[in-house]
Structure 1
Amino acid sequence: MRTLNALAMCLATFPVAAMAQDLDEGSDEARSTERGVEIAPYIEAAQVVTAELQPGDDFVTFTRVAAGVDAGFGGRYSSGSVSVRYERRFGWSDDVSDADTISGIARTSLAVAGPNLTLEAGALASRTRLDGNGGTSIGAFGADDDFTTQVYSIYAGPAVRTQIDQAEVTGAYRLGYTRAESVDVPQLTPDGDTIDVFDESVTHNLGARIGFAPDTVLPVGVGVGAGWNRQDVSNLDQRIDDVYVRGDVTVPVSPNVALVGGIGYENVEVSSRDALRDADDNPVIGPDGRFVTDTSTPREIAYETDGIIWDVGVMWRPSRRTSLSAGLGRRYGSMTYYGNLTYQPNASSSLGVSVYDNLNSFGGQLVGTLDELGTEFEAFRNPVTGDLGGCVIGVEGDNCALARLGSLRSGVFRSRGVSLGYGGQQARWSYSIGAGYDRRTFIAGEDTILAETDGIADETFWIASTLGHRLDRNSDLSFGAFGSLFDSGVADTGVAYGYSVNAAYNRSFIEGLTGTAAVGLDGITRENLPDFQGASALVGLRYTF
């Protein structure tokens, strides 16, 4: 009976989460670690040498100084992790300009009233390199140039899980904001068409459900839920507005397995405005390289559907450490498929697999990936550039969620894909690995400047990994690798293969003082644009207070 009750508790939130952009409604099961408070502020100085191998042969060097803090805390119902860094770069020649960079990642869950009410929050600041076909990846090689931009994202909101008599009540709200700074030059395709780079967005995600577990009021579990997904993108005033309500039923098959299903009603609308036109009917491009919105024109519907939605699935939960859910249904006017697998073989490692299908924008996608991160992790940074990597090292959540940033285009899209992540710590080793596939089909109004992208699909395959090994009490090695294949659906942009590998040796001289020697290789190979490849090396010192 205990296993059946645990399964019922998980099933109570499963249909709502699947239908509300996987909105996290909180769980006290993963928040029982009491690790206290750990704060490690540091200052750092390093000398960096970079050599451009393709398409040119530039050789530059610069000095960087940085200050940052890595921190974490854990209690019975609250936990969080943060890594924040400010860096100043000083070029040794006119080829490398001085630059400031702020990067950081944070994720926390704070108990407001015991385990029943928590505040969920996350944030990201990262330098990102934009490719000519619209693709991007977290972090950027070498010094800042015309193709790098700073991306910021933050979200926060309450999550509730409580019992009112025999009724289980769950709900969550998430408010998010994402912004990408303008690149120094307008981004163009090989044909000379302007790529409208994402500017900023505000997202709202709301999900709630009330229901009864099996064998309480009925032999089967029943419930009713509702959700709202609203995203406002500043580029061309694009908007996603998605509202639904549904009822669900849970049918236990065994103590570990149950069948689930639901039916409801949904109304979805995607709309935008057109770009401002000049006297020759050409779109006006602002100083930030983006289309200027014509606010005098009426809003145009790019996509809308309303009607019956449904889904059926199965849930398997043999223990507190393992759960599997899978389902299919109809949503957004077509078939949809989704699923999640979580497996923790022990307290220091975890495996997660997710199959998703949702309506999103770049900002909404980034807020969602932050929400998928666990609250207990160690950030992995490229030892040469200091930038964040696509993975963090942790034992809960999607540790490599940031690796799938995908396209930085401003357009709204339907995103379908799968991601896998595995990570943990064992003896002197720490590790994380992730892989995935993401397909984004863009949605645009037929009478707008983005009409040519309507129905176009960008595809991204990616893999990311980190590995750390402590040699002895005073030294350790770390390795990182990232690879991606980005195929833009826009004609003549071709396929781009990106990669990054790095290695570092760290040696502690006295308490708090550590020396680092690191090397890295970064590059991108493209079909219709010049290839890029660069190698780098670093020696530096860090003092941790």
Structure 2
Amino acid sequence: MKALLLSGAACAALIAIPAQAQRSKSITPYIELAQTVDADLTNNDVLTYSTIAAGVDANIHTTRTDVQVSYRYERRIAWNKDIGDNDVHSGLARANVRVAPGVSLEGGALAVRTRNDIRGAAPINLAADNDNISQVYSVYAGPTVATNAGPVQLNAAYRYGYTKVETPGATLVAPGAPKLDTFDSEQSHVVTASAGVKAGEVLPVGVTVSGAYERDTQNQLRQRYEGKYARGDVVLPVTRTLAVRAGAGYENIKVTQKDALLDAAGNVVTDRNGRFVTNEASPRRIAYETDGLIYDAGVIWRPSPRTLLTANVGRRYGGTIYTGSFSYAPTRSVSLQIGVYDGVTTFGRQLQDGIGRLPTTFITQRDAFGQQFGGCTFSTGNSAGGCLNGALQSISTSAYRARGVDAILSASRGPISYGVGAGYANRRFYAPEGEGFTVDGVEDDSYYAQAYVGLTLDPVSSINADIIANYYKSGIVGSRGIYSEGATVSYYRSFGRLGASATAGLYNFSQQGLRDQTSAQGQVGMRYSF
């Protein structure tokens, strides 16, 4: 059932499309057979396995519908006993369907493999039999309503989200290091509403009042996140291109959970999957709480329809916060986006928020080694795309304050398309005080960069290349900094419905003070598209 989250969301999006819009669609199912060689260059070990895959690529863009789906299921069949057979799911779905004037349904889904423990192994090749890798599924959907009551603009939205993580194998965390809990599943509900008037319609300033309610529930230790917000904002135009804004309101956030069950020796009891067992008799303990006034102010600069800058500073979460964004699209084929963020969140909700910011037109590649959609996703439309590295740097069961910056550039010129993404992410964790080790106050840091280029050689052949580099550092005492780098090149050729591909990759990860782990992969495959 978990494995069908992405495909189910994709089918729901396609079914929801009005019948008259389905005349303009491209839906291409396919099957694929491939042979892969995985060479461990550090230990001089070579493994070979076969894969059989099935998937679908779909694009539907009309006046009422924007949908793109890319989903792939792969079954790996080992040739020897050194590695086992396993399944890999990868894909992304984004949809926005306008079902009536002012009413739309919006959603997204993701299936990806990513790192589990930030202190452990950091392989870039996510399709091989690597340590510290978990399969992640996440989906969200909900309606949005926008209407007017005279000069007043009214908006409301609801979003439901669900995230599931499969249990990882070995993590390669140093022996004796504190054991961290392993994420299971999380559900989230978000309700927002606002009413506002533009500057000059009723008053010289634009005025908006808004409110929101958020609730996340997690299986692990019965964790619960609950947030309530209400605020008012004003915008004052200064010139034709510049405005200043300010806002203030009330916020209440509370994160609680129960204790883990301990044995007679005081050690945490785990289930057969390595997850902490909840002590149901434990009272609900507070991991994080804030209650009071919030405020911020900033500027909005829009010198042209293709350029927009926002910058804000304020007080929230008991301290100073900085947020902002910059978007620039000098031509229809070039787009740049930069975002600075700061907020208290959970793994599931940060991931769903990131999916929601991805465009409904994105570049897809033949994902030979499982790298697609787990980092930066580049766009073919007006948006540059987005990066999920901040959420997927590792998986956490604890709530945390996420701060960072993302920058992404997408461009195309004739037969060439390319993209560059980079960013920095910091997470400060919240947990109740108690006996033994706690992550409360621990901070993680991650830096990441990715570059992509695609070249169409002729109508039937093309080349794609990716370069990825990451650095991770956990604040847990004794943790080492971890580097990972990789490069992949693929060649594709079409023979009508039948296509052939060849892919090669070189990957490395290292922990400070330990020997580098270097590997090379090669794959040849054939695909039949229906």
Q: What is the CA–CA distance in structure 1 between the aligned matches of 2:230 and 2:371, rounded to whole Å?
A: 45
2:115–2:393 contact (8 Å) kept in structure 1:
no
Q: Do structure 1's residue 246 and structure 2's residue 246 form an aligned pair?
A: no
Q: What is the CA–CA distance in structure 2 between the aligned matches of 1:363 and 1:529, rounded to whole Å?
A: 32
- Cα shift readout 1:275-324 (whole Å, capped 9, x = no counterpart): 00112221101111111111211111122121111110111123332221
Residue 170 of structure 1, aligned match among 155, 161, 167 = 155
What residue ranges of structure 2 are gaps of 5+ in the alignment? 1-20
Which one-letter code corresponds to 1:53 in the other structure? Answer: L
- Cα shift readout 1:387-443 (whole Å, capped 9, x = no counterpart): 545233313446242233112121110000000111133210122211000000000
Aligned residue in 1 for 2:12 = none
Aligned residue in 1 for 2:418 = 431
Residue 219 of structure 1, aligned match among 172, 184, 204 = 204
What residue ranges of structure 1 are gaps of 5+ in the alignment? 1-32
Percent identical pairs in the alignment equals: 39
Residue 113 of structure 1, aligned match among 54, 75, 100 = 100
1:80–1:109 contact (8 Å) kept in structure 2:
yes
Aligned residue in 2 for 1:485 = 471
Q: What is the CA–CA distance in structure 1 between the aligned matches of 2:199 and 2:322, rounded to whole Å?
A: 25
Q: Rate the CA distance shift 1:107–1:128 in 2: closer, same or farther, 3 A.
A: same
Q: What is the CA–CA distance in structure 2 between the aligned matches of 1:171 and 1:142, rounded to whole Å?
A: 40
Q: Rate the CA distance shift 1:460–1:234 in 2: closer, same or farther, 3 A.
A: same
Which one-letter code corresponds to 1:290 in the other structure? Answer: R
Q: Map of 1:456-535 to 2, 5 A cutoff?
A: 456-508=442-494, 510-527=495-512, 531-535=516-520
Aligned residue in 2 for 1:102 = 89
Aligned residue in 2 for 1:272 = 257
1:251–1:260 contact (8 Å) kept in structure 2:
yes
2:94–2:360 contact (8 Å) kept in structure 1:
yes
Q: Do structure 1's residue 194 and structure 2's residue 189 form an aligned pair?
A: no
Per-residue deviation at 1:262?
A: 0.9
Which one-letter code corresponds to 2:32 in the other structure? Answer: E
1:381–1:388 contact (8 Å) kept in structure 2:
no
1:458–1:489 contact (8 Å) kept in structure 2:
yes
Q: What is the CA–CA distance in structure 2 between the aligned matches of 1:426 and 1:113, rounded to whole Å?
A: 37
Q: Rate the CA distance shift 1:397–1:241 in 2: closer, same or farther, 3 A.
A: farther
Which one-letter code corresponds to 1:402 in the other structure? Answer: L
Per-residue deviation at 1:530?
A: 5.2
1:136–1:406 contact (8 Å) kept in structure 2:
no
Which one-letter code corresponds to 1:515 in the other structure? Answer: A
Q: Rate the CA distance shift 1:529–1:409 in 2: closer, same or farther, 3 A.
A: farther
Per-residue deviation at 1:371?
A: 0.4
Per-residue deviation at 1:506?
A: 1.4
* TM-score (structure 2 length as normaliser): 0.91
Aligned residue in 1 for 2:70 = 83
Q: Map of 1:304-453 to 2, 5 A cutoff?
A: 304-385=289-370, 388-394=373-379, 395-397=381-383, 399-404=385-390, 405-447=392-434, 452-453=438-439
1:130–1:136 contact (8 Å) kept in structure 2:
no
Count residues in correspondence. Answer: 508
Aligned residue in 1 for 2:166 = 181
RMSD: 2.2
SS in 2 for 1:294: coil
Q: Rate the CA distance shift 1:448–1:364 in 2: closer, same or farther, 3 A.
A: farther
* TM-score (structure 1 length as normaliser): 0.88
Q: Map of 1:29-40 to 2, 5 A cutoff?
A: 36-40=24-28
- Cα shift readout 1:32-68 (whole Å, capped 9, x = no counterpart): x9993111221111111110012x2210111111111
Which one-letter code corresponds to 2:26 in the other structure? Answer: E
Q: What is the CA–CA distance in structure 2 between the aligned matches of 1:388 and 1:91, rounded to whole Å?
A: 25
Which one-letter code corresponds to 2:155 in the other structure? Answer: T
2:104–2:143 contact (8 Å) kept in structure 1:
yes
Q: Rate the CA distance shift 1:416–1:385 in 2: closer, same or farther, 3 A.
A: closer
Q: Do structure 1's residue 255 and structure 2's residue 245 form an aligned pair?
A: no
Q: What is the CA–CA distance in structure 2 between the aligned matches of 1:471 and 1:361, rounded to whole Å?
A: 44
1:322–1:343 contact (8 Å) kept in structure 2:
yes
